[in-house]
Amino acid sequence: MVLGLINEIQQYLDARYVRPLEAAWRIFGHPLHAEIPTVVRLALYLPRMHRVLFNPDESLEAIVSRAGQQMSTLTGIFACCASMEDECLFTYQEFPQRFVWLNSEKRWKLRHHGYAIGRMYFASPNSGERFYLRLLLTVVKGPKSFQCLRTLNNVLHDTFKSAYVARGLLEDDEEWIQCLKETAVMKTGYQLRRLFTIILTQCSPLQPYALWNHFQCIYNEAQQADAEIIIDRLNNDQRTAYDAITSSVFENKGTIFFLNGGAGTGKTFLYNAIALKCRSVGHIVITVALSGIASLLLVGGRTAHSTFSIPLDVLENSICGFSKQSL
């Protein structure tokens, strides 16, 4: 680097001192640095997902044919283990300790001297099947194919993840079940959905769909039980209103009802019975009231101003904001 009239590079060269030992070492052509032990980078990719270099002028058939025959350190170990008479007792990472990868010939050769360690490319837990493939390669000895990695006790599993689970190497989702149970007591539906999204994207649960179904079933079984208990306690007039309103909802009639009655006649009790019944069969029910005290008596109730973002000063151009994600 040259700064103004000062040439730092030239100053370094002019002032550098070469010792006799360094000079002799260079004269005899000995290497100036070395890496011990040797580190062999091991390829990691899903079936038919390896990198292929090709000429765009080549035909598609030629490219596909060459790609199918292309060997890497990963497919090379499959071929090497399949050709052995005895069972191979080494994992993918341990293979470079006993074998040498001949890059020019694209094959593994038995190591006669020296030592090396293998290092697979990194795979994030969010990378899905590639992550579980990497985990299996660290525990399965002598794999002969991708199918061999997914096979346990003569059972071929559909995914690398399910094969890893079958080996008992992955914990269950009990931690996330307890987390969601505790959160459901104190958080809103919007916050619960945000938490579930974080668990899916950052925590890699074992069975996300089963985790969703677990709470969906518990929620629907609890609501159905509560609804049946309340419905059995309705009097004749309340049951008449209940049947008319729920019939309109389930048959998509879209009828608007106005329920009138004096204080203490059980209007709120009927509202909760209708809401629980509709929610137990999968409907979304919004329960609102004008006052905060009235909203507290409704299951999941809120004030209308809070739910629909109704402005306190209503003008001609005032609007309300409401969406599913705002619940």
pLDDT in tens, 185-222: 677 777 888 888 888 888 778 788 888 887 776 666 76
Distance from C-alpha of 69 to C-alpha of 71, rounded to nearest angstrom: 6
Here the tokens at position 257 are 């009802």
**Strand (E) positions, 218-298?**
288-289
Strands 6-7 and 2-3: antiparallel
Strands 288-289 and 302-303: parallel
pLDDT of residue 316: 83
Give the sign of the dihedral formed by CA 258, CA 264, CA 270, CA 271.
Answer: positive
pLDDT of residue 327: 58
pLDDT of residue 231: 85
pLDDT of residue 141: 92
> Average pLDDT per run of 10 along the chain, which is 327 residues long?
71 81 88 82 91 86 84 92 89 92 91 89 85 92 93 91 84 80 75 85 81 72 74 88 90 90 86 86 85 85 84 81 68
Distance from C-alpha of 224 to C-alpha of 220, rounded to nearest angstrom: 6
Q: What's the helix, strand, coil split of the chain in %, to 5?
A: 50, 10, 45
Contact in structure between 95 and 118 (CB atoms under 8 Å): yes
Distance from C-alpha of 75 to C-alpha of 199, rounded to nearest angstrom: 34
Residue 121 per-residue DSSP state: P
Here the tokens at position 277 are 């019944």
Nearest to 42 by CA among 88, 101, 124: 101
Q: What is the pTM of this model?
A: 0.55
pLDDT of residue 5: 76
Distance of CA 13 to the CA centre of its chain: 55
Query: Domain extents for the chain?
Result: 38-166, 174-326
